[in-house]
Chain A
Amino acid sequence: MIADLLTLQVIVGMLGSGIRLATPYLYAAIGETFGQRSGVLNLGVDGIMLLGAFAAFYAVFTTNSLVLGVLAAMFVGGLMGLLMAFISVTLQAEQGISGIGIFLFGLGMSDLLFQRTLGSVETVSGFRPLDIPILSDIPILGEILFQHNLMVYGAYLLVPLAWFILNRTTIGLKIKAVGENPEAADSLGVSVAGVRYATVTFGGILSGIAGASLSIALLNVFQQNMTAGLGFIAVALVYFGGWRPVGVLFGALLFSTVQALQNWVQTLGIPIPSEVAVMMPYVLTIVVLVFAVQRVGQPAALTKVYERGE
């Protein structure tokens, strides 16, 4: 049985799956990284993803335009991100709980809208795989890395982009400053609220795109609660990645590979109870959290409300 798992075709397929499945994790976790780096914890990512997934799906279902789908997801995600920023920064609400509130809202709203507009499970023609010329012809590696759809490529391109923004630009410096020492940043003229609004809204946009990647690129379907906690895992990945894009990339790949492995195990009929396989990502998240916190420190001002004069 295990021998069946080790044929080349299976391994290649699994790795390719792993690359593909990391997409929503990457979008959501990179987005959350920006927010957390500036000191805001957004636990509503899962809810925003669901809303983004629905928005994209509905847009594509009605207009057949993939571009419109992505834009719809970005708009909805940005709106929710803005809301979260308002609640966390201006109203200074407890970030963990308000995030859960946003999650419940997104969960209910996406389901509600789905039931009211589509009613039953439908499929769309989402993003098609786009073979990168030349590179995709490389034996093995080509199949694993270069035969995916645009949203997958986008997610991976996001990593060096995020790295660049955080480490080589002024805005990145401001973000980090606001997250480590808002008082100092404020005294130097950096708008703490402005930076946080920007990062959380940006995180929302990316979460929306993450949701879209599920509904119009990876699965091409929309279902109630289709993320099944994926957003929360993405938040955990930020911790695991040490609040750095490259670390987040490793974490996301780890997760998606485990998920791909689980899928293959199931399709090959290997006698592990399917529930054990489904459980693995969540158990892994906990294990990951245990080790992550001991390695790297979190942004000093994470979840701490900042008010001038305190």
Chain B
Amino acid sequence: MLKNIARYPFLSRLFDTLLPVLATLAALAVGAVMLLLLGANPIAAYTALLNGAFGSQNALADTIVKATPLLLVGLGICIAFRGGVINIGGEGQLIAGAISATYIGLSFPEQPATVVVPLAMLAGFFAGAIWGGIPGLLKAYYGVNEILSTIMMNQIAVQIMNYLLRGPLIDPEQLSRASRIPETARLSRAFDLPRLVPTRLHLGAFIAVVLAFLVYVFLWRTTIGYRIRAVGLNPDASKYAGVHVKRYIVLSLLLSGAFAGLAGGIQVYGVHHFMFTDGSAAGFTGSAGFNGIVAALFGKLHPIGTIPASFIFGALLVGANSLQRAMQVPSALITALNGLVVVFVVSSELWSRRLARLRQTGAGAEVDAALLADEFDDDSRAEPVSEVNL
């Protein structure tokens, strides 16, 4: 069947784009089974989920608000994965960005918002960049596996956050009340990102979408972006073409972290307006660091594709809360479901690769003929372009 699809370029592209959707549907089907086992009616559950996500103007706004950090982190992930680096450090980078942005706001409470807010966003951007850049340096110059180092950086960031929120950055109110909850003071109301009243939809969502287009332009229309992608596809060839592979590895992780850091800043200024912690990463981030990866994968690592992908995942997360309220199904189900989606989407790449290979060497019946004919003629067979692995 793949051979038949391979014949037609349009069908092939459609297949490639729909594959993650099919994979996700498969994951949701497994989720339905899990719901059944939990004694919940899957139809009622998924209905509650959809209602929670889209059922009203406020719900829709909440979905977009939830999707915003996913989109930003996802944009960073697109850059990283396309650059050949697997960044799992979104959580820590987001926290680093949030801390820096909050610090700026707390340090200049009286200054005009038009100065402080952009400054805070920049601070978040740079803090995230540093938090991503360190694993980048470690990978490029010391060969350290970036998956492991970014995961470690996540945990380190959490501890730093806990310390700061318990100590130097704690709300003076907490101290005077002797309650000592680790959280900062609320930022000046002037710093709140503008909202579409009466909903909770804030400017950050709009910024994120604009950035998505900018990232697209960056990756596909600039030299730097081209080189990032080249290094990701074939580091050796890029090296021989004169690209400083190591620098671009660092750059990819740096930018990836920067977007996650910006997401942190926007979360603080658009949603929470202060920083808090429950000791873990997810307490503050809502696992946006991990979910952003899922969103990017689902969007086929394309910045524009990540927009609908993060919207859908935002819906999933918002819906999960109403699922928990309505049917007492713990939101941990969604974490498990996210894991399944990742597994299914990544596994489905197999068919994308096979399709690509078929198209490369000639679709349909020509494949067999080509392979047979070239068995005795090694020099003339053109090597298929190495598959676009993540």
- List B residues 346-382 near A (Cβ within 8 Å): 346-347, 349-350, 353
B343 pairs with A282, CB closer than 8 A: no
B297 CB to closest chain A CB, in angstroms? 7
Q: Is the CB of B86 within 8 A of A275?
A: no
Indicate if the CB atoms of A273 and B163 lie closer than 8 Å.
yes
Query: With A275-B160, A286-B144, A294-B142 known to touch, is A93 a contact of B332 (CB < 8 Å)?
Result: no
Per-residue interface assignment for chain B, residues 287 to 329, with 1 indicating a CB less than 8 Å from any chain A CB and 0 otherwise: 0001001000100000000000000000000000000000000
Contact with A along B231-263 (1 / 0, CB 8 A): 000000000000000000000000000000000
**A67 to chain B: which residues have CB within 8 Å?**
none
B339 touches A229 (CB 8 A): no
Nearest residue, chain A, Cβ from B291: A104
B138-A289 in contact (CB<8A): yes
The proximity string for A residues 208-241 relative to B, scoring 1 for CB distances below 8 Å and 0 otherwise, is: 0000000000000000110011001001100100
Set A92, A96, A278, A294: member contacting B143, Cβ < 8 A: A294
Assess the B346–A286 pair: CB atoms within 8 A: no
A100 at interface by CB-CB < 8 Å = yes
Per-residue interface assignment for chain B, residues 133 to 155, with 1 indicating a CB less than 8 Å from any chain A CB and 0 otherwise: 00000100011110111011111
CB-CB under 8 A from B159, the residues of chain A are 275-276, 278-279, 282
Asked if B63 is an interface residue, CB under 8 A from chain A, the answer is no
Given A275-B160, A289-B149, are A104 and B142 neighbors across the interface (CB < 8 Å)? no
CB distance B151 to A98 under 8 Å? Answer: no
Tell which of A55-63, A105-113, A196-204 binds the partner.
Answer: A105-113
Q: Determine if A293 and B143 form an interchain contact, defined as CB atoms under 8 angstroms apart.
A: yes
Interface contact A236-B148, CB-CB below 8 Å: yes
State whether the Cβ of B280 lies closer than 8 Å to any Cβ in chain A: yes
Q: How far is the CB of A263 from chain B (nearest CB, A)?
A: 15
The A259-286 residues at the B interface (CB cut-off 8 A) are 273, 275-276, 278-279, 282-283, 285-286
Say if the beta carbon of B156 comes within 8 Å of chain A: yes
Q: A185 contacts the other chain (Cβ, under 8 Å)? A: no
Question: Which of B144, B339, B350, B390 contacts A47, CB < 8 Å?
Answer: B339
Q: Tell me whether A243 is interfacial, beta carbon within 8 Å.
A: no
Contact between A108 and B144 (Cβ–Cβ < 8 Å)?
no
Cβ of B162 within 8 Å of any chain A Cβ, yes or no, is yes
A293 to B143, CA, bound (A): 7
* A235→B147 CA distance, assembly (Å): 11
Bound together, the chains give a CA A105 to CA B147 distance in angstroms of 18
Which residues of A sit under 8 angstroms from B333, Cβ to Cβ?
A: 108, 112
Given A229-B151, A275-B160, A275-B163, are A289 and B145 also a contact pair (CB < 8 Å)? yes
Is A102 interfacial (CB 8 A cutoff)? yes
Inside 8 A of A282's CB, which chain B residues have their CB?
Answer: 152-153, 155-156, 159
Q: Are A93 and B335 in contact (CB under 8 A)?
A: no
* Residues in A whose Cβ lies below 8 Å from that of B286: none
Q: Closest Cβ of chain B: how far from A148's Cβ, in Å?
A: 27
A115 surroundings in chain B (CB, below 8 A): 330, 332
Q: A108-B333, A111-B335, A116-B38 are in contact. Are A100 and B88 (CB under 8 A)?
A: yes
Q: Which residues of B contact A275 (CB under 8 A)?
A: 159-160, 162-163, 166
> Which chain B residue shows the least CB distance to A114?
B332
Residues A101-146 near B (CB distance < 8 A): 101-109, 111-112, 115-116
Is the beta-carbon distance between A279 and B155 smaller than 8 angstroms?
A: yes
Whether B149 contacts A98 by the Cβ 8 Å rule is no
* B152 with A91: CB separation less than 8 A: no
Interface string of A47-90 (1 = CB under 8 A from B): 10000000000000000000000000000000000000001000
CA of A91 to CA of B335 in the docked complex: distance in angstroms? 23
Complex Cα spacing A239 to B146, Å: 13
- B167–A104 CB distance below 8 A: no
Instruction: Given A282-B156, A290-B142, verify A105-B148 contact (CB < 8 Å).
Output: no
- Residues in chain A near residue B293, CB distance under 8 A: 97, 100
Q: Decide if A22 is an interface residue (CB 8 Å cutoff).
A: no
A4 contacts B by Cβ under 8 Å: no
The minimal Cβ–Cβ distance linking A241 to chain B, given in whole angstroms, is 14
Interface check B199, CB cutoff 8 A: no
Closest Cβ neighbor of A239 among chain B residues = B145
Partner of B86, one of A97, A112, A289, A294: A97
Q: Of B34, B145, B290, B347, which one neighbours A87 at CB under 8 angstroms?
A: B347
Q: Which of A97, A273, A282, A283 has the most CB of B within 10 A?
A: A97
Which chain B residue shows the least CB distance to A309? B371
Instruction: Report the separation of the CA atoms of residues A232 and B148 in the bound assembly, to the nearest whole angstrom.
Output: 7
A–B pairs, 20, beta carbons within 8 Å: A93-B343, A93-B347, A97-B293, A97-B297, A97-B390, A98-B343, A100-B88, A100-B293, A103-B339, A104-B336, A116-B330, A229-B155, A232-B152, A279-B155, A282-B155, A285-B148, A286-B144, A289-B144, A289-B149, A294-B142
Chain B interface (Cβ < 8 Å from any Cβ of A):
34, 38, 86, 88, 138, 142-145, 147-149, 151-156, 159-160, 162-163, 166-167, 280, 290, 293, 297, 330, 332-343, 346-347, 349-350, 353, 389-390
- Told that A108-B336, A278-B159 touch, could you supply 14 new A-B pairs with CB distance under 8 A? A43-B147, A91-B350, A101-B341, A102-B339, A104-B290, A105-B336, A107-B332, A107-B339, A112-B330, A224-B332, A232-B152, A273-B163, A275-B159, A275-B163
Task: Pick the 4 closest A-B CB pairs, nearest first.
Answer: A108-B336, A108-B335, A105-B339, A104-B339
